[in-house]
């Protein structure tokens, strides 16, 4: 069995929140090379989207392996050291603990991991996002694995026709449920249409009995109890041979749907599919970006990546996203550009509400006119 782990963290932005400094990327690559040479990893690569470093690794230790998570933690500590030396913004901001303790759960870095038996041909897409939250994957996963208007294979591929099971997390109550689709499709949509709370964690083929996709589901604000940055999620999708074709898995991103994030993590903005060279949000810390790195995995080796959004077929989505961004920005601090108050719990809102609490009075009470 092969395990594919994608572990990411923001350990310092260059400049502001827009990118990762080349020295930090070089340090992460050195660590990956050492781990591969020592036999800890079969293979590994380093990628970035915005100000997040992603470690893309294959190994045989399974998901939540202490050795792999400890290695990632140490690597992020090393890149944090470089960020501090360069005076970069938010150095180490995703590292919410002083010491590693078994695995990365609750420690800040996000991760998606898939353990599988390698097929003769194993095409995999690794999606990396910046300036948004884990629920950003809900809409594309629904379209990939449950919408025949997006994925023709759901109708014409015998291995896909039976549908897929969707594991959904309730991030507030820390509960989970599995929806059997297409039978439970309408029930599932009621929940995943609220992506701030309900997040698709994984998708499993009913015919093949294999996991087809998995996402990172960590919300930094819920871990830290305050706003420390958006979650910048990652996602792994296996493709072909009874699973969505590569083109079907990419198709949802031809529509720049709206996600939460952008400036201070407090605004709605279009999700912009970009090639790696353009994955550096700047305008109003956005629009939120997504890159897609394609690999063929063979004997555990990562053959690639191919920059899947480096394709003029997505130019229309990019142009439309710019128009949407213009429209939303004109709303300024008003909804629907700004998130609803229920999503501003970890901003200035609680302190503001406390400070003004005594000034709120029943509407039947007369308010004295201010003098002067």
Which residues are part of a known binding site for dihydroxyacetone phosphate?
Answer: 17, 131, 264, 285
Closest to 218 measured CA to CA, from 209, 207, 210, 229 = 229
Three-class DSSP category at 308:
coil
Catalytic residue among 184, 227, 257, 307, which?
A: 227
Closest to 259 measured CA to CA, from 250, 271, 274 = 271
Three-class DSSP category at 154:
helix
Q: How far apart are CA 11 and CA 38, in angstroms?
A: 25
Q: How far apart are CA 291 and CA 127, in angstroms?
A: 6
Closest to 107 measured CA to CA, from 137, 85, 76 = 76
Annotated binding site: 10, 17, 51-52, 89, 93, 102-103, 130-131, 230-232, 240-241, 264, 285, 346
Q: E strand or H helix at 146, and its extent? A: helix 138-146
Q: How far apart are CA 364 and CA 362, in angstroms?
A: 5
Catalytic (active site) residue 311: no
Catalytic residue among 94, 142, 191, 230, which?
A: 230
Annotated binding site for Mg(2+): 10, 17, 51-52, 93, 130, 230-232
Task: Give me the sign of the Cα torsion angle 270, 214, 46, 229.
Answer: positive
β-pairing verdict for 258-261 and 198-205:
unpaired
Report CA-CA distances (Å) from 270 to 92, 132, 260, 273: 27, 10, 9, 10
Catalytic residue among 8, 10, 94, 198, which?
A: 10
Percent helix, percent strand, percent coil in the chain, to nearest 5: 30, 30, 40
Q: How far apart are CA 62 and CA 81, in angstroms?
A: 29
Residues contacting 289, CB < 8 A, separation 6+: 49, 50, 129, 130, 131, 271, 272, 274, 278, 279, 280, 281
Catalytic (active site) residue 111: no
Catalytic (active site) residue 227: yes
Annotated active-site positions, please?
10, 227, 230
């Amino acid at each position: 069995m092969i395990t594919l782990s994608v572990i990411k963290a923001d350990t310092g932005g260059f400049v502001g929140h827009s990118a990762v400094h080349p020295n930090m990327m070089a340090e992460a690559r050195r660590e990956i090379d050492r781990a591969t040479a020592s036999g800890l990893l079969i293979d590994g690569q380093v990628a970035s989207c915005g100000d997040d470093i992603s470690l893309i690794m294959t190994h045989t230790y399974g998901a939540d392996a202490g050795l792999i998570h400890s290695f990632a933690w140490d690597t992020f500590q090393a890149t944090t050291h470089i960020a501090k030396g360069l005076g970069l913004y938010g150095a180490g901001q995703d590292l919410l603990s002083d010491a590693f303790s078994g695995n990365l759960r609750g420690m800040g870095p996000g991760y998606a991991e898939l353990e599988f038996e390698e097929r003769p041909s194993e095409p995999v897409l690794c999606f990396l996002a910046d300036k948004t939250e884990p629920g950003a994957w809900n809409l594309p996963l629904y379209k990939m694995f449950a919408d025949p208007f997006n994925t023709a294979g759901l109708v014409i591929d015998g291995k896909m026709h039976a549908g897929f099971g969707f594991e959904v997390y309730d991030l507030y109550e820390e509960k989970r449920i599995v929806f059997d689709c297409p039978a439970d499709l309408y029930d599932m949509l009621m929940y995943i249409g609220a992506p701030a709370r309900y997040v698709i964690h994984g998708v499993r083929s009913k015919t093949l009995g294999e996991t087809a996709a998995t996402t990172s589901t960590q919300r930094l604000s819920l871990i830290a109890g305050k706003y420390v940055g958006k979650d910048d999620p990652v996602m792994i999708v296996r493709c072909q041979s009874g699973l969505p074709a590569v083109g079907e898995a990419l198709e949802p991103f031809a529509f720049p749907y709206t996600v939460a994030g952008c400036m201070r993590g407090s605004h709605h903005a279009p999700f912009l599919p970009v090639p790696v060279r353009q994955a550096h949000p700047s305008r109003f810390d956005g629009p939120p970006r997504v890159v897609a790195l394609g690999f063929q995995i063979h004997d555990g080796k990562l053959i690639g990546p191919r920059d899947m959004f480096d394709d003029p077929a997505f130019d229309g989505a990019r142009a439309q996203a710019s128009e949407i961004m213009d429209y939303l920005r004109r709303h300024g601090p008003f909804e629907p550009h700004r998130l609803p108050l229920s999503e501003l719990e970890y901003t200035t809102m609680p302190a503001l509400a406390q400070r003004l609490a005594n000034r709120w009075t029943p509407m039947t009470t007369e308010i004295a006119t201010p003098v002067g």
